[in-house]
Structure 1
């Protein structure tokens, strides 16, 4: 059997209406997984469901707003009811954060960033990990960032939130590894998505990033999807507790 094949598995991908989330959903669905996809807009998730279904991928689309804790908990309940199980949990959704030095950020801004970029992941893991433990099978994939591994003068709050996610991965790896549940984070550099448009929409900015990258380009969403498929499949079953740099060699 193909070790990348996901037939019989159910994959939940948050923030799947565009960019990396949509590319990951397509990759997992094309490998045979049934999908649950989320986004903030009912119209957008319906469009994504129609698109994925047209590709022959079994898909349910649900609305979730990271800014609303009740929305997250309601979504978790509805997701469990959709197929009765979650085998692959991809925590891709994130909220925009204020840019600029940490010393200029307020306590309220810090609290909001943690509430929208860290706490929802805790809520969703808590909702699904017990079933994974009972089956002794599962994969949890967090979307982090390379800025979690280095200092930054402009993306301080975002970096702190992603660093918290990376530590959460290490903790969960110790807790869930004995139950055959692998937990990892993907830490991309610049990717051509709307979320990071400010980094590449200006040709000069993109050229500078490409020049600093050994592969001489920025990543495309489909590049990240390939790594997510590896981590979700039996081919990646012994990759565990890792914060995987995915930046075309920038960290090298």
Structure 2
């Protein structure tokens, strides 16, 4: 088999959360371009429909479904609709996340803590369990969780977000260890500072941006597409022996 063929996702079904923009959209587009049937999900159907139309114009088989990650009923409906339409889920990308707090841990109230953990940890945990039977029926699958370099080394002013992303890394390793015997691979990507709406408060702040660039060997502000290639590797046969891995896409920031 030629190496290009190992990145082919023809016949596969990929579900990507938080996919109406940013890294999620870039990963969904990459997988669709590689031949996968792509289901994109986020909170707002209108935003999903807009990007889905653009993806279809590129020849991508895409289906947009609004859903609330962290809400068990909403996630169950999401998975059921995907299986009803495509009969299976081969790739799950848990990308949806929130961070309503930018400030010290002492200023983070219990409600914010619970919400962050509900979406960033419990959501991926429940969604992965929901797609498990489908992946087993297909002889395996790939789960890709999107963490952060903050999950490796806590970032100041992003304390509880960092805690949630650290938990997601551990959850990924548990999935890889327990589910490998049925052919399910689980890996986690830890992006650094990427130019997205989600991280705009950081890269639009000249002081913060300069601080990052001083520590980052590659002197560039990455775009969402710079993470998408790594996700394609992990979701495709090219990454068939990759499981339990923690992969950074941070320009060398964590060296």
Does the alignment pair 1:159 with 2:159? no
Question: Could you tell me which residue of structure 1 aligns to residue 130 of structure 2?
Answer: 127
Give the TM-score normalised by the residue count of structure 1.
Answer: 0.95
Question: Could you tell me which residue of structure 1 aligns to residue 152 of structure 2?
Answer: 149
Q: 2:85 aligns with which of 71, 82, 89?
A: 82
SS of structure 2 residue aligned to 1:56: coil
Does the alignment pair 1:91 with 2:91? no
Q: CA contact under 8 A between 2:140 and 2:183: conserved in structure 1?
A: yes
Does the alignment pair 1:179 with 2:179? no
Q: CA contact under 8 A between 1:209 and 1:218: conserved in structure 2?
A: no
Does the alignment pair 1:101 with 2:104? yes
Looking at structure 2, the residues matched to 152 and 14 of structure 1 have their Cα atoms a distance apart, in angstroms, of: 24
Listed one character per residue, the Cα deviations across residues 4-52 of structure 1 (whole Å, up to 9, x for unaligned) are 0110111111111110011001100000101100111111111111111
Q: 2:26 aligns with which of 18, 23, 26?
A: 23
| Cα distance, 1:218 vs structure 2 | 2.2
Looking at structure 2, the residues matched to 161 and 97 of structure 1 have their Cα atoms a distance apart, in angstroms, of: 13
| Cα distance, 1:204 vs structure 2 | 4.5
Q: CA contact under 8 A between 1:99 and 1:157: conserved in structure 2?
A: no
Equivalent pairs counted in the alignment come to 252
Question: Could you tell me which residue of structure 2 aligns to residue 5 of structure 1?
Answer: 8
Looking at structure 2, the residues matched to 29 and 245 of structure 1 have their Cα atoms a distance apart, in angstroms, of: 23
Looking at structure 1, the residues matched to 83 and 118 of structure 2 have their Cα atoms a distance apart, in angstroms, of: 23
Q: 2:193 aligns with which of 186, 190, 193?
A: 190
Q: Structure 1 residues 87 and 67, CA, compared in 2 at 3 Å: closer, same or farther?
A: closer
Q: CA contact under 8 A between 1:132 and 1:181: conserved in structure 2?
A: yes
Question: Could you tell me which residue of structure 2 aligns to residue 116 of structure 1?
Answer: 119
SS of structure 2 residue aligned to 1:121: helix
Q: Structure 1 residues 53 and 81, CA, compared in 2 at 3 Å: closer, same or farther?
A: same
Which sections of structure 2, spanning at least 5 residues, go unmatched? none
Which sections of structure 1, spanning at least 5 residues, go unmatched? none
Question: Could you tell me which residue of structure 2 aligns to residue 63 of structure 1?
Answer: 66
Q: CA contact under 8 A between 1:37 and 1:60: conserved in structure 2?
A: yes
Give the TM-score normalised by the residue count of structure 2.
Answer: 0.94
